[in-house]
Structure 1
Amino acid sequence: MDTTGIYDEALTRLHATGPERLGRLTNHAPMAVEALAAHGRARSVHRWLDLYTVKLENFPSGHTRVTDANWPEALGDPRRAADWIAYFGEKLAERPWREVLAEWWPRLLLGMYGGSTHPVIRVGHAVRSLLTAGDNPAGPRLTELAHGLGYWAARHHLAPEVASSAGAVTAAGALDAVPPIGVREGGFPDRLAQVARLPEWAAAAATPEEARGKLTELVRAAVHRYATHGHGEETMLVHASTAPNAVLRTLPALPQEMWAASLHAAWTASAAVTAMYAPDEPVAHRARAAGLTAEEVFERADAHADEHVVKFADTALDVGDEQALSAVLYAVELSVPMT
């Protein structure tokens, strides 16, 4: 937990900016600064933001007010991002944030593919910050949840219907069994439209704890897989682990009856990203992090400063073993640093 106040300062600075730039590229700053602060790197936050400022745009104008009556027609309309953020700001001012989250999580969950899964990741970072803020959080952290939920609602996009193929016992085996799409060209929406078949895995969980255990296994498997497959697409393959980890981080704030559906949605997202971007052949795992502590590895991600590297390091440290830390250093090798 950041006790310096810098994270909240950064959020206040960021809430004057929009969730995207150029009409399609996600603003990663709220997620990255939360990751830095959560790992004791608050002193890096404003320096990092100064570098990232060129990728920020002003907060967008409103279109038409979102209400309890008209929200279904506004769902998935990116022109309504400001309207959705205002709507959730109103709801979070009226009711406890956990109640608002629990009401909207099932409505938004299956539409996590808009914005290349970034909206659910932003919500996951916001929820983690709220869970560490005490019983009655207020101010920038609640506003950040409104921005995250609003962005998700505006970019809500369902995955195509997919058929099930033979599964595997483990998450790692299931990810290995994901069939690649036919034409690995174009952006996220074009590739997503080609995903037609995914392995059966974690279709049902007997208990909420089993759902959480399987989701934890999935995050670990996806992080480990980056250490041998990240070269397929160094940026987009990060989301095979950060999207399900955002769901995992949100579970403690949700009613347990929602955990099984959350697991299924997270698996589908992770598998779809794998189908869209995984390389034909892996490379051998190298113990890049041998002899390094988790803190030293995160420091290297901080110094590199690429937003996806920082966020991936944050997720990999939740896994914490040698292969996870080596995956972070592989991302550092593959990615262009932010300067």
Structure 2
Amino acid sequence: MDTTGILDEALQRLHGSGPERLGRLTNHAPMAVEALTSHGQAAAVHRWLDLYASRLEEFPPGVEPVTDSDWRAALGDPRRAADWIDYFGREVADRPWRDVLTVWWPRLLPGMYGGSTHPVIRVGHAVRTLLADGTGGATHKATGPRLAELAHGLGYWAARFHPVDGLAPLPGADSAAAALDAVAPVAGHGGGFPDRLGRVTGLPVWAAAITDPDEAYGRLTELVRAATHRYATHGHGEATMLVHAATAPNAVLRTLPALPRVLWVPGLRAAWTASAAVTAMYAPDAPVAYDPPGTLTPEEVFGRALAHGDEHVIKLTDTALDVGDAQALAAALRSVELSEPLVA
């Protein structure tokens, strides 16, 4: 829990910016500053934001308000991002944030693939900070900036809602690691995320028979570990985009404790589709060996991620510290090696 107030200051600073820039590139700053404060680096937040500032755009104009009666017509329309964020701002002001999340999670979950999975990742970071703030109970009051951040994340998700339907079930495996190994790369290497996603026609079956919420939680934890480990050996396929094979399912995992248990199994299934699809879209031709972290502590590894500065490096390292073992730390260090550092 951040007791310095710096996270709230940073979120207020960022909420004047839009969720994207150049019409397609995600604003990662709210996620990165949440990760920094969660790992004791609140003092570095504003310095990091100063470096990132050139990548921010002003908050976009609205089109027309989203309402309870017409929200379906606005779903998946990126031009309506401001309308959606405003809608969720009203929702979390009027009702407990968990209630809002419970209503909208099953509505938005099928479309978590829009925005390169960044919207659900942003929601996962927002939920973690709300839970850490002691706001899980009905009598607790979340801070305004943290509630606003949840509204921004949900609004971005609704605006970029993009489902993936009709995937053929392919032979899979029992473990998450083996199932990821069974993912076949999509044909061709060109195009951005939407183009590549459109070429994913089938994915291996994994954990499809799970119906128990606790088992779903355990399997999702396994998936996050496997995808993080895999980055250590496969991250060179695409240093930035393959981060999401781990961070997207981890965002779902972080959100589950704030949701009714009946929603945990659907979360597992959507997270698997996201992780496997990203794996298919950016898989390298062959794995490589990785260097173990040696005597580096998790805090030292996170310090290296901060010194590097890239937002995806920070977020993967954040997930790697959740996993906490040597190969996960090696994956974080691999991202430092593969990625371009953040410079002003």
Query: Alpha-carbon deviations, 1:87-136, whole Å to 9, x = none?
Result: 00111111100000000000000101110000000000000000011222
Distance, in Å, in 2 between the alignment partners of 1:210 and 1:280 is 33
Please point out which of 266, 273, 276 is paired with 1:271.
276
Corresponding residue of 2:160: 155
Distance, in Å, in 2 between the alignment partners of 1:310 and 1:278 is 21
Gaps of 5+ in 2: 135-139
Corresponding residue of 1:116: 116
Query: Alpha-carbon deviations, 1:193-239, whole Å to 9, x = none?
Result: 00011000011323111000000000000000000000000000000
Say whether the 8 Å CA contact 1:160–1:195 is kept in structure 2.
no
Corresponding residue of 1:305: 309
Q: Which residue identity lines up with residue 256 of structure 2 in the other structure?
A: L
Gaps of 5+ in 1: none
Distance, in Å, in 1 between the alignment partners of 2:285 and 2:203 is 17
Residues 92-171 of structure 1: matches in 2 within 5 Å? 92-134=92-134, 135-171=140-176
Residues 226-265 of structure 1: matches in 2 within 5 Å? 226-265=231-270
Query: Alpha-carbon deviations, 1:131-186, whole Å to 9, x = none?
Result: 01122213100000000000000000011421011110100000000011011211
Q: Secondary structure at the match of 1:110?
A: helix
Distance, in Å, in 2 between the alignment partners of 1:239 and 1:278 is 12
Please point out which of 186, 197, 201 is paired with 2:202.
197
Distance, in Å, in 2 between the alignment partners of 1:206 and 1:305 is 40
Corresponding residue of 1:73: 73
Distance, in Å, in 2 between the alignment partners of 1:152 and 1:128 is 17
Corresponding residue of 2:340: 336
Distance, in Å, in 1 between the alignment partners of 2:207 and 2:37 is 33
Query: Alpha-carbon deviations, 1:276-327, whole Å to 9, x = none?
Result: 001010001321x111000000000000000000000000000010000011
Say whether the 8 Å CA contact 1:160–1:192 is kept in structure 2.
no
Q: Secondary structure at the match of 1:164?
A: strand
Aligned CA RMSD, in angstroms, stands at 0.6
Q: Which residue identity lines up with residue 100 of structure 2 in the other structure?
A: V
Q: Secondary structure at the match of 2:203?
A: strand
Distance, in Å, in 1 between the alignment partners of 2:165 and 2:22 is 26
Distance, in Å, in 1 between the alignment partners of 2:283 and 2:46 is 34
Corresponding residue of 1:320: 324
Distance, in Å, in 2 between the alignment partners of 1:72 and 1:217 is 34
Distance, in Å, in 2 between the alignment partners of 1:127 and 1:116 is 19
- List 4+ stretches of structure 1 deviating above 4 A: none
Distance, in Å, in 2 between the alignment partners of 1:240 and 1:56 is 25
Q: Secondary structure at the match of 1:169?
A: coil
Q: Secondary structure at the match of 1:122?
A: helix
Say whether the 8 Å CA contact 1:117–1:243 is kept in structure 2.
yes
Distance, in Å, in 2 between the alignment partners of 1:79 and 1:88 is 16
Distance, in Å, in 2 between the alignment partners of 1:168 and 1:113 is 23
Say whether the 8 Å CA contact 1:37–1:45 is kept in structure 2.
yes
Distance, in Å, in 2 between the alignment partners of 1:142 and 1:161 is 35
Distance, in Å, in 2 between the alignment partners of 1:251 and 1:169 is 23
Give the paired residue count.
338
Q: Which residue identity lines up with residue 260 of structure 1 in the other structure?
A: V
Note if 1:292 corresponds to 2:296.
yes
Note if 1:24 corresponds to 2:21.
no
Q: Which residue identity lines up with residue 253 of structure 1 in the other structure?
A: A
Distance, in Å, in 1 between the alignment partners of 2:202 and 2:211 is 24
Corresponding residue of 1:43: 43
Corresponding residue of 1:7: 7
Distance, in Å, in 2 between the alignment partners of 1:21 and 1:89 is 21
Say whether the 8 Å CA contact 1:204–1:260 is kept in structure 2.
no
Distance, in Å, in 2 between the alignment partners of 1:220 and 1:212 is 13
